[in-house]
Amino acid sequence: MTDSKYFTTTKKGEIFELKAELNSDKKEKKKEAVKKVIASMTVGKDVSALFPDVVNCMQTDNLELKKLVYLYLMNYAKSQPDMAIMAVNTFVKDCEDLNPLIRALAVRTMGCIRVDKITEYLCEPLRKCLKDEDPYVRKTAAVCVAKLHDINAQLVEDQGFLDTLKDLISDSNPMVVANAVAALSEIAESHPNSNLLDLNPQTINKLLTALNECTEWGQIFILDCLASYLPRDDRESQSICERVTPRLSHANSAVVLSAVKVLMKFMEMLPKDLDYYGTLLKKLAPPLVTLLSAEPELQYVALRNINLIVQKRPEILKHEMKVFFVKYNDPIYVKLEKLDIMIRLASQANIAQVLAELKEYATEVDVDFVRKAVRAIGRCAIKVEQSAERCVSTLLDLIQTKVNYVVQEAIVVIKDIFRKYPNKYESVIATLCENLDSLDEPEARAAMIWIVGEYAERIDNADELLESFLEGFHDESTQVQLQLLTAIVKLFLKKPTETQELVQQVLSLATQDSDNPDLRDRGYIYWRLLSTDPVAAKEVVLAEKPLISEETDLIEPTLLEELICHIGTLASVYHKPPSAFVEGSRGVQHKRLPPRAGSPDVGQSGPSEAPPAVIPSQGDLLGDLLNLDLAPPTATVPSVQPSMQMGAMDLLGGGLDSLVCSSPAASHFATNVISGLGDLFDLGGGVGMPTGSYVAPKTVWLLAMKAKGLEISGTFARRGGIIQMDLSLTNKAMSVMTDFAIQFNRNSFGLAPAGPLQVLTPLSPNQTIDVSLPLSTSGPVMKMEPLNNLQVAVKNNIDVFYFSCQYPLSLLFVEDGKMDRQVFLATWKDIPNDNEAQFQIKDIHLNSDVASNKLQGSNIFTIAKRTVEGQDMLYQSVKLTNGIWVLAEMRIQTGNPNYTLSIKCRAPEVCPFVYQCYELVLKN
């Protein structure tokens, strides 16, 4: 007997026939009829007219028939609520059946019938089933609570089903536990603040026990639920991780991914120096690689997730480049994802292999894939400087193939390479110009026009080339039009004599013949600039361009953190937060990683943490911004800030940060303000120091140009006996910087960081962060030239950068540097006169007492003062951190602004630096 025949009845009057058959006395005939009804239902025919007849078949001993009728009921009950009531009695009776399978079937089906009147009758049977002796019934009832909650949440709460459900978490049967967890998680999702799950170490322990025993699906429910728990401390976090790691060997990829989610989340709380942290990192790589041998659809899900994991923790997979090499037979969606990850993992170590692969891919058939491969080559060039040359030559080879889309894509990426490495590869421009005619895509045309405009001075026939584009100006896309306008203005500024006509032509095309407001406005701005102030025009149009980012398509850090919490789910596949594709209240809660280990205060772990309430209403804020912007952020702003106000500014600063992160459009506007705020804040801090030791203003130590967008300026200070290096880190690149660390080279006085560089939040583009790094003098010693030279290495997620700076020797003047008079005399005599050095300090209009006080602030102590023939003689001592004593005699003649300083020291090479300190202190 085959069932396919039920699909073939398409006669008219079918419903009548079916009705007759349904009411037949013969059981077999009845069953046949119901099957036909279900088949019709499946293909989308409306068979609701048969409702009473089908429901009449419900009272039967035949389980198969019963299931079919139930299926029908679930589909049509809602459209016939009054008649659906007829079924209630049977359900209630079935819930009492001796056979647990029938009891479960009844309660399962009843939950699917979304008719209020029936739901009321469901409560009693459900209550019984939740406490049924048979686990099969209990596990079905647990899910039924979630069904009922979906229909009538109030009813579920009133009836106390939620508490019963919570009790089931302690059930002896693992599957009951798993289903209860699933149901509770779902209900909790629609009540974000209900604390329904109420996870505590005891329940967590129960869940972890059930994890070892339940089905693969149950394990997924439990792991997903565990991921929403926030461990109390790193120890609890570690112990949960230890019990979850065995799941990484499960054959079911979803179990593995959910376990990865829990580990990625809880790892955040582990201190990085912990041995276990390293072990865990190592354990994560192999299962992720294994996911790539699953079926293609799962590979796709895995790859989308790996893309997130690689951005969050690049160290996990950095040695696994090869597994992401594309296979010839991979489906296209797998290929594209693999390519994305390859670029992210590309580094100096593996670039040769990656390039060879990419070159191979660029000859494949699929257009999208080939384009992406070409683009990837360009990205490698920008990311790994050493490979740039090889990348460029590969791109040129590809251009030689003359395959249209390959050429266009190559030109787009070469434009970026030009920007990244100015004055290096322009020799290829000629080759590019040969392909001008074949470009038909706006992006490629715009890129080519940009290149011609940017390098107009090197291209002899730049004007001809640009003119050729101008012919069809109105048929071009806006992107091309804008680019063409700018390029011609550039050309004009570079070669004003020959191109006057051209520039007039383009300006009139843009301003008079175009209806595009953007184009028109840009045209007018250029026009006015050129006519009023050509110098300013030059500054604007030919301005230095911001650095190009190495990483493209990076996910914004707050979103990335949220997505990490959703590993394995649709959100991680779409790379969008659930609120972007889920309707209603479900999933709108934003999940967040636990605070990072070692961060001092939970409340300040991420930029997103700044409570929105601190931001004043939009209008006020805008006012503030404008005001602040007007006050020039120079060093002459109010000298002392009341501390209250400083606090307020700090909060505002946090608020602004989050503002910047959330809306890129505002970022440019807010940059100045933020850096202004930084300055103000700093100054307040400096002035407030009680000792009054002099702190030089910050100077730029590391240029953004040389450090891939990271600018560092800084100064040194000695505050209350602690040496500090005050740094301002500014991100001038397009991508976020994280993972900062600092290290010093050996130096003359053994300066070394006393702690790690505390940059806890990622540094967003255009953001500035101020940090104070305490220094110790217990580091390794090596004499430097000059003596006070300090070589520093700063690392971030992008690279390691080196710079050197010089610190004032006063940094090393210790507080107990006051020498006993007698000892002073003896020492003075003891030091040979060859070691004495004399200096002049000019233009000081201070009397000896003020000078002495000022010097004392920097730990230069006056031991004795003598007045001889109208001259004040100050005898002073200084002790360096390494125990070297420096003795000095300062002669001050009243009326003479020039002081004479004699310095004696056993190590005469320090004398000039001590003199520098005198001068600095006295003059400020």
CB of 413 to another protein, least distance (A): 20
> What tokens were used for 46?
């409306």
What amino acid occupies position 900? T
Q: Determine if 431 is a binding residue for another protein (CB under 8 A).
A: no
Quote the CA–CA distance of 176 and 161 in Å, as a whole number. Answer: 15
587 binds another protein (CB under 8 A): yes
Under rule CB under 8 A, residue 561 binds another protein: no
Query: Which residue number, 252 or 672, has a Cβ lying nearer to another protein?
Result: 252
Instruction: Among 131, 282, 586, 668, indicate the residue that binds another protein (CB under 8 A).
Output: 586
CB of 43 to another protein, least distance (A): 6
Stretch that binds another protein, among 191-199, 563-571, 633-641, 866-874 (CB under 8 A): 563-571
Q: Which of 20, 332, 864, 907 binds another protein (CB under 8 A)?
A: 332
Contact assessment for residue 750 and residue 882, using Cβ atoms and an 8 Å cutoff: yes
Taking the C-alpha atoms of residue 130 and residue 166, their distance in angstroms, rounded to an integer, is: 11
Which residue from 201, 296, 534, 755 is in contact with another protein, where contact means CB under 8 A? Answer: 296
Give Cα separations from 524 to 233, 481, 507, 509, 716 (angstroms): 61, 14, 8, 11, 49
461 touches another protein by CB under 8 A:
no
Using CB under 8 A as the binding rule, whether residue 474 contacts another protein is answered as no
User: At closest approach, how far in Å is the CB of 558 from another protein?
Assistant: 18
Which 3-state string (H, E, C) describes 825-849? HHHHHHCCHHHEEEEEECCCCCCHH
From the list 23, 29, 48, 134, which residue makes contact with another protein (rule: CB under 8 A)?
134
- Residues 87 to 126 in contact with another protein, rule: CB under 8 A: 98-102, 104, 108, 111-112, 114
**Token pair recorded at residue 90:** 């049977």
The span from the CA of 741 to the CA of 737, in Å, is 12
Q: Which two tokens stand for residue 588?
A: 């709108």
Q: Which is nearer to another protein, 143 or 651 (CB)?
A: 143
**In Å, what is the CA distance from 615 to each residue of 542, 656, 862?**
37, 8, 51
Which parts of 689-718 interact with another protein (CB under 8 A)?
none
* Cα gap 165→141, rounded to integer Å: 9
Residues 236-275 that bind another protein (CB under 8 A): 243, 245-247, 249-254, 256-258
Q: Is there a cis peptide before residue 786, judged by omega within 30 degrees of 0? A: yes
Site string for another protein, 740-759 (x = CB under 8 A): --------------------
Stretch that binds another protein, among 208-216, 229-237, 707-715, 731-739 (CB under 8 A): 208-216
- Mapped onto helix, strand or coil, the DSSP state of residue 813 is strand
Residue 799: how many other CB atoms lie within 10 Å: 13
DSSP 223: H
Q: Within 876-905, which residues bind another protein (CB under 8 A)? A: none
SS3 string of 847-900?
CHHHHHHHHHHCCCEEEEEEEECCEEEEEEEEEECCCCEEEEEEEEECCCCCEE
Which DSSP category does 399 fall into? Answer: H
Helix (H) or strand (E) holding 916: helix 911-923
Binding status of residue 277 toward another protein by CB under 8 A: no
Minimum Å gap between C-beta 779 and another protein is 41
- Assigned token pair, 328: 């010839």
CB of 351 to another protein, least distance (A): 15
Give, as ranges, the residues between 301 and 330 that touch another protein (CB under 8 A). Answer: 301-302, 322-323, 325, 327-329
When the beta carbons of 100 and 442 are compared against another protein, the nearer one is 100
Alpha helices in 608-705 (DSSP H): 618-630, 643-662, 664-687
Nearer to another protein, 361 or 749 (CB): 361
Q: Considering only residues 237, 569, 713, 748, which one is a binding residue for another protein as defined by CB under 8 A?
A: 569
The answer to whether 456 and 467 are in contact (CB under 8 A) is no
- Closest separation between CB of residue 189 and another protein, Å? 9
Q: Which of residues 348-377 bind another protein (CB under 8 A)?
A: 353, 356-357, 360, 363-365
In the complex with another protein, the residue whose CB is nearer, 135 or 912, is 135
Q: What six digits make up the tokens of 660?
A: 């910047």
Cβ 244 to another protein shortest distance, Å: 10
Min dist. Cβ of residue 337 to another protein (A) = 10
User: Is residue 836 within the footprint of another protein (CB under 8 A)?
Assistant: no
Could you say which of 15, 298, 436, 884 contacts another protein (CB under 8 A)?
298
User: CA of 843: how far to CAs of 455, 693, 857, in Å?
Assistant: 52, 21, 20
Among 287, 654, 750, 762, interactor with another protein by CB under 8 A: 287
Spell out, one character per residue from 374 to 413, where the chain touches another protein: x when CB under 8 A holds, - when not: ---------------------------xxx----------
Minimal distance, residue 136 CB to another protein, in Å: 4
Within 13 Å, how many C-alpha atoms sit on residue 86's CB side?
Answer: 17
Burial bucket for residue 629 (CB in 10 Å: 0-12, 13-18, 19+): middle
State which of residues 50, 54, 55, 65 lies at the interface with another protein (CB under 8 A): 65
209 binds another protein (CB under 8 A): no
Q: Residues 62, 504, 797, 881: which binds another protein (CB under 8 A)?
A: 62
Of 625, 807, 791, nearest to 724 by C-alpha is: 807
Of residues 145-184, which lie at the interface with another protein (CB under 8 A)? Answer: 146-147, 150, 173-176, 179, 182
Per rule CB under 8 A, count of chain residues that contact another protein:
115
Q: In what order do the strands lie in the sheet with 800-806?
A: 741-744, 789-795, 800-806
Write out the binding residues for another protein, residues 14-53 only, by CB under 8 A: 35, 38-39, 42-44
Instruction: Pick from 2, 193, 195, 423 the residue near another protein by CB under 8 A.
Output: 2
The first and second tokens of residue 178, run together, are: 């798993």
Sequence letter at residue 322: K
Report d(CA 243, CA 229) in Å as an integer. 15
